[in-house]
Structures are given as C-alpha cells and as structure tokens.
Chain A
C-alpha cells in the first residue's frame, strides 16, 4: 500500500484539520471506552429499557406453559407437592415440631417463600450462560434480564401465595388456631428483600460463571443446603444452640420467620432489628452485585 493515494491524502488532511478544531466541545451521545467508571451503573439506561423488561417477563410467562396440558397450573403443583412431601416426612414420620401450627400450613408458608428466593437466585445466576447467544449479537442493558427474572418469578410467587391464602382459609374454617397480625403489612418489604437477595447473589454468581462453570452446579446444590440453614422445615427454637448463630446470620431467616408469624401467628421470634439486618445485607449484596455485573458485562463475550 505504498502507493500515493489521493483519497487517503485528503482524508488525512481532513482529519488533521479536524484535530485543530475544538472537537471535544461537541456533544457526543455515547462514548465507547475500554473501562468504565466503577460506579457508572447506567441505571438510566435500564429504565429506558423497561419495555424490554416487560416483554421478557411476558415471554417467560407465555413460553412457560405453551404446549403444556396443565399450563399455569404448574405454578401451583410444584409447591403443593413439596409441601405434601415435607408434611409427610418431617411432620408425620420424623414428627419435627412446628411451633404449634398446623403442619401443612407451616411447611407451605416456608416453601412458598423459599421457592421465590430460590428461583430468583438460580435463574439469575445463569444470566450470562443462557443468554450468551443473544448477548453476543446485540446490546441492551444486560441487567434487563435478571430484573425480568425477578418479576416473572414474582408472578409465580403471587399465584402460589394466593393459593396459600386459600389453604389458610380452609384451615381457619376447620377450627385451627391461626393469628394473622399487623406484621402482614410488611409483606411488600419481605418480597423486596428476597428479590434483592436473589438478584444480588444471582448476578454475582452469574458474573463468576462466565469464567468458572463449576459455580453453576454449586448454586443448585448450595441453595438446597441453604434451605436447611433457614427455618423452612425447622423453627428457630428447635435448632441446637451451638448452630443458632448460623441461622441468625442467614439473612433469609428473618424473612421466613416474619412471613410465617405474620400470617399464621405462633411462637415465631420476630423483631424489627432482624428485619433491618436482612435489609442492610440485601442492599450491600445488590450494590456489590451490580458493580461486578457491570464490570463483567463489558467483556464477557471474550471469555464465555
């Protein structure tokens, strides 16, 4: 290419001229650079992509039951069967204590709440792996995917929750001693904390799975293990004293306990500082997660 080329010479001249002009004072809509500021989270971009989030949620919901016979019923079957199995094994066979509450409701309240957290964390943790095809071809705020997962899991949660209320009514009519109380008003806060924890942990793991695939297996396994460190099956009071600290350090403990206490009453140990602890934990995890996620998002295509 040693030939003298008039076009190129003109181009060079043009760019030389441009450099002398105060180009940088112009307004640029977007600057693509190697590294972004750590705290440049581009949440505004996510907000502008809210239509996309809504469509993702709707896609997940519709695609979930297309070509199934039972359709949305599947949302109910899963927690129902889990509850039945828990009631049989832990309640009837092992005869574990349930704080004096009807066993079925005790297990169901735990299962429904736990299921929301577990789906959030397992599904968001696969964000990069399952969407690598899509992410490799088009840009949109990547956080739209985990956020949409939180919302579509919330739909499932609401369905299951309504179902739970139905069973509550059935048991109340049957004369069970249930004591719903003002803590019910905390429900939105509980959901927010669960969603935040699921999102935060999920996106931290998703960012790490771009490099380490083994974390994917750890997640499903780890979430199941974590369930046993949360009072889903055993009430706090029945945990041996030397393991109590694990239960109390677990940010999901107050959520499950408060939820159960709010709707069913009973002997749950419920207080605001515990809730505040969970909330603080959630905020920290979400911030760390978002920062890591944004770091990885820029170049993950080169490592996946």
Chain B
C-alpha cells in the first residue's frame, strides 16, 4: 500500500468512443480500460502511492474500504504484469 507506482514508457494510449485504448509498443499487445481502469490510469499521470489511489477511489465510488483496497491491488498487479506500470523503489 505504501509503494509508489508509475506508468512505464512502453504504453501509448488513445481514446476510442470514450474508452481508453492502450498499446504496449514492444509487445504489440492491446488493452482496453473500462471506467474504473481509465480512472486509475489517469491517476497514474504522475507517480502516486497505492494508498492514494485507494483513497481517491473510495471517495468517488460507494464501496467498502477493504474491498476497494483488495480490488485496486489486484488491478495494479495485473497492470504491472502486462507491463503498463512499474514500482518506483525509493532511495
């Protein structure tokens, strides 16, 4: 929860019909983000702590804190696996 995450350099995005389309430049993989995914992605414009993401999502969506944490973490893990985000290891 205290980790700081940021976008990787390999993703380019575009808007298509209100959805965010993403392409991983090296792998040539494509992803679409739904509403929540797009919201999280826009928060990642600057490096941000995982805890801050959860805080902001809890405010915007009527969801229990613990559930928000769990789902956000799962989502971020998946984004990391797909090469969209990475953790910044602070010095």
A binds B: no
- B-side residues, CB < 8 A to A, are none
